[in-house]
Structure 1
């Protein structure tokens, strides 16, 4: 388990998220912890009031989170392209047509859907985190 350092796509994702006008405009109540499982690595994102409080690469197996978004490295690779192919363009399409899975407390995911969607769109700038 390592906390993200200030270099590479993980740090860029954090910087973009914390500086994104849309996340900040809607993020006053965006406080949750979620896991992005990208097959080779997973990333725990702890949000507090629209800011990335902590971003951990490969968290310990029993680390708590509200919900997880899991997919193969290939699916994340397509999802994170600047212009993704059809059915890789959003979590719902990728869930229904590809191998993406949503797990955990989906109410929390839905309560934070606008900010989460915007954060995931930022992966099209950074590329897959791992």
Structure 2
């Protein structure tokens, strides 16, 4: 299994998200491009009704919203047993050091599939 954060890890995580039935059910109206900044590593993922496309160089990709945090924060969030303020996206955003930028209306409208995506990322990270 590739280590986090890397393009190989993200490929595995995105494949797992696409195969996840719960994500599929909650993402039917989710159309957005999300930029993930895992510390120094940055990627964009386009979500189109459950189908995901990875953009490994997000420099020239128009994104709707971004989730940014230091690599250590993501490692805590994706650990097998996340510490307080790292077990949930909203907690990490509102009280931790995850920043959410861009069109927050789209992000909040699709918070359930977004949270599910991060849960699957966490599961992949602990395989």
The alignment's TM-score, normalised by the length of structure 2, stands at 0.87
Asked if 1:117 is matched to 2:123, the reply is: no
C-alpha separation between the residues in 2 aligned to 1:84 and 1:58? 29
Q: CA deviation at 1:11?
A: 1.4
Q: Which moved more, 1:88-97 or 1:101-110?
A: 88-97
C-alpha separation between the residues in 2 aligned to 1:113 and 1:91? 9
Q: Is the Cα–Cα contact under 8 Å of residues 16 and 122 in structure 1 kept in the other structure?
A: yes
**Structure 1 runs (4+) greater than 3 angstroms displaced:** none
String of CA shifts for 1:67-95, please: whole Å, max 9, x gaps. Answer: 00100011011011122111111122112
Q: CA deviation at 1:98?
A: 2.3
C-alpha separation between the residues in 1 aligned to 2:70 and 2:34? 17
Gaps of 5+ in 1: 1-6
Q: Is the Cα–Cα contact under 8 Å of residues 42 and 58 in structure 1 kept in the other structure?
A: yes
Q: Is the Cα–Cα contact under 8 Å of residues 36 and 68 in structure 2 kept in the other structure?
A: yes
Gaps of 5+ in 2: 1-6
Q: Which residue of 2 aligns with 1:33?
A: 33
C-alpha RMSD of the superposition: 1.7
String of CA shifts for 1:87-128, please: whole Å, max 9, x gaps. Answer: 111122112332111111000001111111000111112339
Matches within 5 A, 1:1-130: 8-52=8-52, 54-60=53-59, 62-127=60-125
